[in-house]
Structure 1
Amino acid sequence: MLTYILVGFALAADAFAVSVSAAACTDVLPFLIGLRAAFMFGLFQFLMPIAGWLLGSAFSQFIQGFDHWIAFGLLGFVGGKMLFEAIRARRKQECPDPDDSPKSHGILKLNTLFLLALATSIDALAVGLSYNILGHPVLVPSLIIGITTFLVCLIGIEFGKRLKEVLEEWAEIAGGSILVLIGLKILVEHLSNGR
């Protein structure tokens, strides 16, 4: 049980960092939107090990060959878009994009949140594959991983809301940079392991 909790914390690290940066970049963040974001991250961290386990060992080499590129691409795209809009807004001294108004909840809009949850949960797919190969059950560990991620992301969102007060107009630049750096970290870790 303790092992599953530790795996949950390890897998939740990227989702935590994304939660912090996303909350820091959102002008208005009602509690329910933050709850929805934490739920999405937790749900994906719950589902991906199950998907990996179901795919089994037959696909492990195939998936491990490009999972890091997918995570890097998704996080790089979202983070790069945030950076571009923040820099453009600073030049024009106006809001980054009408679509990112406080009403739309910025980066935590459902379509962007889906991409972020997917990108931060790809490693959980590999964990599910390893559970299959080792003959371990997957349902209880996946549930623990999902709940751990949900709770960690709730904390991250609250921390990000407080961080926004400190960063003010630099929050979107910091958040976009963090997303790009997380994507690079995932890519470098996997490439340095020879995958």
Structure 2
Amino acid sequence: MSSLLVTALILGAGLAMDAFSVSLADGLNEPHMPGARMIFISGLFGFFQFIMPLAGWLCVHAIARLFQGFQPFIPWISLILLVWIGIDMIRESGSRQKPAVTISALAIQGIATSIDALSVGFTISAYSWSEALPFCLVIGVVTWIICLAGLWIGKRFGVRLARTSGLAGGVLLICIGLEIFIRGLF
């Protein structure tokens, strides 16, 4: 196994942890989620984890100076997006029928949990396009698998904790946002 593949697998697993936690929350919020939706949601998270480091790589090769000014705001953006979705999930947890997480909320979750992967593009900037593309693809596939597991686990517990799962999912999203924010400051 090449060192590039091993690095991509390890980095992919590390980057996927935020998305895994959000997947748990989504599974808790929607305990009767069909399998096709689970595949779609985990695929969406995988897509964002694939595209963000690739976008970072492109930024380094095209517009590096502009992106450097944006980097200090990454923890703030993640915090705001995840707290906003978490509060919305908590607010809706009191309703009798929990709505499924909307596509726009899923996209925001995908961006919020993968925005830190944008900076990975800087670390792979020495790679050629033919190395960067499969590297990012491995990160996306690893994220997809890990998030599918997160949805399944959350769904299992969501069935058992149906009354409080929306509240738990919302609190979890807020905690993830705070964790990303604090980690980004130090």
TM > 0.5 fold call: yes
Distance 2:67 2:106 in 1: 26
Cα distance, 1:62 vs structure 2: 1.3
Cα distance, 1:27 vs structure 2: 4.4
Distance 1:158 1:50 in 2: 28
1:123 to 116, 126, 136: 116
Give the corresponding residue for 1:81: 88
Give the corresponding residue for 1:44: 48
Equivalent residues in 2 for 1:3-42, closer than 5 Å: 3-42=7-46
SS at match of 1:168: coil
Give the corresponding residue for 1:103: none
Give the corresponding residue for 2:135: 141
Give the corresponding residue for 2:175: 181
Does structure 1 retain, via aligned residues, the 8 Å contact 2:87–2:174? yes
Distance 1:172 1:79 in 2: 9
13-22 or 25-34: bigger deviation: 25-34
User: Any gaps of 5 or more consecutive residues in structure 1?
Assistant: 101-105
User: Any gaps of 5 or more consecutive residues in structure 2?
Assistant: none
Does structure 1 retain, via aligned residues, the 8 Å contact 2:32–2:159? no
Does structure 2 retain, via aligned residues, the 8 Å contact 1:49–1:127? yes
Does structure 1 retain, via aligned residues, the 8 Å contact 2:83–2:173? yes
Q: Which amino acid aligns with 2:146?
A: V
CA RMSD of aligned residues (A): 1.3
Distance 2:92 2:156 in 1: 22
Does structure 1 retain, via aligned residues, the 8 Å contact 2:31–2:156? no
SS at match of 1:66: helix
For each residue in 1:117-170, what CA deviation from the matched residue of structure 2 results, as whole angstroms up to 9, or x when unmatched?
1111101101012222xx124212101100000010111111111111222211
> TM-score normalised to the size of structure 1?
0.86
For each residue in 1:44-102, what CA deviation from the matched residue of structure 2 results, as whole angstroms up to 9, or x when unmatched?
1000111111111323421211011111111010001111222x43xxxx335xxx2xx
Give the corresponding residue for 2:97: 95
Q: Which amino acid aligns with 1:172?
A: G
> TM-score normalised to the size of structure 2?
0.90
